[in-house]
Chains A and B, each alone.
Chain A
Amino acid sequence: KQEVTQIPAALSVPEGENLVLNCSFTDSAIYNLQWFRQDPGKGLTSLLLIQSSQREQTSGRLNASLDKSSGRSTLYIAASQPGDSATYLCAVRPLGGGYQKVTFGTGTKLQVIP
């Protein structure tokens, strides 16, 4: 059974700092991995989707990497801003499994202090 871990559960950084959020998974047979942000009381907003054949994806100040061999993905946020404060979740879709088999991490709650 796939297990997805996000450590730390919470993180507080000063504005302007570059930071890395981690997502670890136990089964490397994945189809894709998706990063989301969730603001309090809101739905999940997709940030980046990395297919199994890709090593990284970039969108603006965000860069997500994928290393299947080590069972790890990282989300890099450059020059953090207070508006980046949210909970960040990763979701892993298994190879050969539909989206009903997706496993979500429990998230990292990020606070960027002005």
Chain B
Amino acid sequence: SQTIHQWPATLVQPVGSPLSLECTVEGTSNPNLYWYRQAAGRGLQLLFYSVGIGQISSEVPQNLSASRPQDRQFILSSKKLLLSDSGFYLCAWSVGGGGYTFGSGTRLTVV
């Protein structure tokens, strides 16, 4: 079956510290992968998407970066976190004409 794993579930990091959030997909090949951020009381904002290994597109300028070192692995990173990076981060995948499947999310609090 197709599953998506995202970790950690919660993270509290000081301002200026690095960040690495990981997402892995099982049960499918060559998925499109996405990182979204959901701020409190606001909608979902697409941060990055990837159609293949090493192919990353950014939707908004920001303090974050993404990488796809393997077909089913998507990583969200930052070298130095800002307070404004706090939020709920969601990884998702899709294949062909199917819909999205989302991970369980990571609650990031930058203090």
Contacts and interface: CB of A to CB of B under 8 A. Distances in A.
A44 B100 contact: yes
Interface stretch (B62-70, B74-82, B102-110): B102-110
A105 B42 CA distance: 10
B61 interface: no
Nearest to B101: A46
7 closest Cβ pairs, A-B complex: A49-B99, A44-B102, A34-B99, A43-B102, A43-B104, A43-B105, A104-B44
A98 interface: yes
A91 B100 contact: yes
B27 interface: no
Interface in B83-102: 88, 90, 92, 94, 97-102
What's the interface size class on A, roughly?
20 to 34
Dominant SS at the A interface?
strand
Contacts of A105: 43
Interface residues of B, number: 25
Interface of B: 6, 32, 34, 42-44, 46, 49, 51, 57, 59, 88, 90, 92, 94, 97-105, 107
B16 to A, nearest CB: 26
Contacts, number: 54
Contact of B32 (A32, A43, A98): A98
Interface of A: 31-32, 34, 36, 41-46, 49, 51, 89, 91, 98-100, 102, 104-107
Contacts of A91: 99-100
Given A41-B105, A43-B90, A43-B104, A32 B46 contact: no
27 contacts: A31-B97, A32-B97, A36-B100, A42-B105, A43-B102, A43-B103, A43-B104, A44-B100, A46-B99, A46-B100, A46-B101, A46-B102, A91-B99, A91-B100, A98-B32, A98-B49, A99-B32, A99-B49, A99-B100, A100-B46, A100-B49, A100-B59, A102-B46, A102-B100, A104-B44, A105-B43, A106-B42
